[in-house]
Structure 1
Amino acid sequence: MTDTAPPSAPSPKQPPTSEEPGLPGDENRMQDKPDWHPRYPGSGRLVGKTAIITGGDSGIGRAVAVLFAREGANVALVYLSEHEDATRTKALCEEEGANAIAIAGDLGAKAFAQDVVGQTVSAFGSLDILVNNAGEQHPDEAVEDITEEQLRRTFQTNIFSMFFMTQAARPHLSRGAAIVNCTSVTMYKGSPELLDYSSTKGAITAFTRSLAANLVDDGIRVNAVAPGPIWTPLNPSGGKPPEEIPDFGENTPMGRPGQPNEVAPAFLFLACEDSSYMSGQVLHPNGGVVVGS
């Protein structure tokens, strides 16, 4: 018998990968800034509702947060470490007349997801909408180039976080609540340089459909949005190879990338009563790319 201790189990929370240190990126540093501005006056579709939006500091998350605020929601913004962007987004929500809080941390940790929900319910007294939008991507030309560190990290951020947030939120969601997940066009058409990212998006779509069936009897709707190439800080900060940035989005039928404010209305539709007869569905703001449902 040996007194050698067995190897310790790996930590369930993966540290940030060192391959693209600029991710997820700061919107305030971009010269060509994404367009997050809502395109129309609010109509009160979320008055009295409270929403958590992960990845809410910039890009699609910022556009969704400001639009939800314009429609009357209390907003909890969850972000990793982009404090300046988050402070700006919180102020933009407040300018719309909404109450807003910003919470920084890594959603790959289950304890942080629980803390997010706890802070939100403490601040606003309820929780009605969960938008699982946080994500990361790391381009690689060959499958052998994807390190174990990167693979674990991408799955942790993109899909584990959705489980953790949903588990934490579930006791506070009652009949009429909505969950909206962010998947991607890459789930449907694939991406030769984003093998791990695309795989997580496939998992998110399956999670969305399965969770919708799981919660339908409780009156909680679960849907998803699958954006195409959208101009956000993720792209120039390492999410796309630098040589592809000038042509980003040109391979869509519309011949251009989308803007965050062209995606946010899809999240609003799925979060409000306009979509009361929809669950387990995916909307596709992708520049005209025709994909299977």
Structure 2
Amino acid sequence: MPNEAGRPNDPTTAHPRPDFPGQEQDPPGRTEAMDPRPDHGEDSYRGSGLLDGRRAVITGGDSGIGRAVALAYAREGADVLFSHLPDEEEDAQETTRLIESAGRRAVPVTCDIRDERECRALVERAVSEFGRIDVLVNNAAYQMSRPEGISAISTEQFDRVVHTNLYGMFWLCKMALPHIPSGGSIINTTSVQAYKPSPHLLDYAMTKGAIVTFTHGLAQTLASDGIRVNAVAPGPVWTPLIPATMPDTTEFGKQSPLGRPAQPAELAPAYVFLASSRASYITGEIMNATGGTPLP
């Protein structure tokens, strides 16, 4: 985004840099309580009609990357149905406001994607509201840092991570496909953790690696149907999940070559591009947005 002088911003200083104030939240976390407040593109994202008339479904659209993508899609001309957990109602209301302020339809749906029946109801609601699904964004995820390593990962936590990050994505893709027309797309959210797993996020990193494999395989399966499947792999991103699941956030993102975490607004353009006709020959790809972290 240009600065006042019309020159490009320095990416190392374009957004807040650590050290951040100490902060801790109960999962799933709230945007309002974060310091600094995440930037979702509220004051910066400008649409250009790239998704005019599209109907999109976004999981975890109440905050973080999901909210930024919902805002960007709406400003590009798409109607948006997004899922959120019951505890995320306040954040969901703000996402709804942002979508509607762009002149598009917002359909917030309370849904725990760990439940197959709730995933089915989510797809049915989308079809009832929109008639079809042009873009499915599998973005909702769960993590919980365990500095002690594998010995501290309970079966309950492992189940929650796997069911949120993998089962929900699998069910929603399977259920949505009959309603995705040729020209539609699926975009999954993986992570730099898929390639460079942090020991304290072992179970989370494992699921993100599986999402890369799933994306590659499903893209080949659906190519002949004219449906594209891609993924975005962020590095550290400043979202409510961070203070809600990590014991110390003061230096979060400092390890990236750019010296800071991404803001959700910086990820949204990747999801817009992959959903748009400008990416018509791109499928089975992972778009990395890691702040310069080298990948294999």
| TM-score normalised by L of structure 2 | 0.89
How far, CA to CA, are the matches of 2:105 and 2:52 in structure 1?
A: 11
How far, CA to CA, are the matches of 2:35 and 2:208 in structure 1?
A: 29
- Out of 217, 221, 224, the position equivalent to 1:214 is 221
Secondary structure at 2:250 match in 1: helix
Secondary structure at 1:284 match in 2: strand
Q: How does 1:206-245 map to 2 (within 5 A)?
A: 206-237=213-244, 239-242=245-248, 245=249
C-alpha distance after superposition, 1:173-214 (max 9, x if no partner): 111000000000011111111000000001111010010011
- Out of 184, 192, 207, the position equivalent to 1:177 is 184
How far, CA to CA, are the matches of 1:21 and 1:88 in structure 2?
A: 19
Partner of 1:161: 168
The CA RMSD over aligned residues, in Å, is: 1.2
CA contact (8 A) 1:47 1:73 kept: yes
Q: Which structure 2 segments of 5+ residues have no match? A: 1-23
Partner of 2:71: 66
Task: For residue 28 of structure 1, report the CA deviation from its aligned partner.
Answer: 2.1
Task: For residue 37 of structure 1, report the CA deviation from its aligned partner.
Answer: 1.2
- Out of 68, 73, 80, the position equivalent to 1:75 is 80
Partner of 2:48: 43
Secondary structure at 2:231 match in 1: strand
Task: For residue 80 of structure 1, report the CA deviation from its aligned partner.
Answer: 1.1
Partner of 1:196: 203
How far, CA to CA, are the matches of 1:233 and 1:209 in structure 2?
A: 29
Task: For residue 40 of structure 1, report the CA deviation from its aligned partner.
Answer: 4.0
Partner of 2:57: 52
How far, CA to CA, are the matches of 1:40 and 1:48 in structure 2?
A: 18
Q: Which structure 1 segments of 5+ residues have no match? A: 1-19
Kindly tell me the number of residue pairs found equivalent between the two proteins.
Answer: 270
Task: For residue 260 of structure 1, report the CA deviation from its aligned partner.
Answer: 0.2
How far, CA to CA, are the matches of 1:170 and 1:21 in structure 2?
A: 36
How far, CA to CA, are the matches of 1:240 and 1:263 in structure 2?
A: 21
Task: For residue 41 of structure 1, report the CA deviation from its aligned partner.
Answer: 2.1
Task: For residue 29 of structure 1, report the CA deviation from its aligned partner.
Answer: 2.4
Task: For residue 21 of structure 1, report the CA deviation from its aligned partner.
Answer: 8.2
CA contact (8 A) 1:107 1:157 kept: yes
CA contact (8 A) 2:25 2:243 kept: no
1:260 and 2:261 matched: no
How far, CA to CA, are the matches of 2:183 and 2:173 in structure 1?
A: 15
Larger RCO of the pair (alpha carbons < 8 Å, separation 6+)? 2
Q: Which amino acid counterpart does residue 46 of structure 1 have in structure 2?
A: L
C-alpha distance after superposition, 1:2-40 (max 9, x if no partner): xxxxxxxxxxxxxxxxxx982221112223210001534
Partner of 1:247: 251
CA separation of 1:62/1:40 partners in 2, compared to 1, >3 Å: closer, same or farther? closer
- Out of 151, 159, 168, the position equivalent to 2:158 is 151
| TM-score normalised by L of structure 1 | 0.90
Partner of 1:274: 278
Q: Which amino acid counterpart does residue 121 of structure 1 have in structure 2?
A: V
Task: For residue 42 of structure 1, report the CA deviation from its aligned partner.
Answer: 1.0
- Out of 101, 110, 120, the position equivalent to 2:107 is 101
CA contact (8 A) 1:54 1:77 kept: yes
CA contact (8 A) 2:132 2:181 kept: no
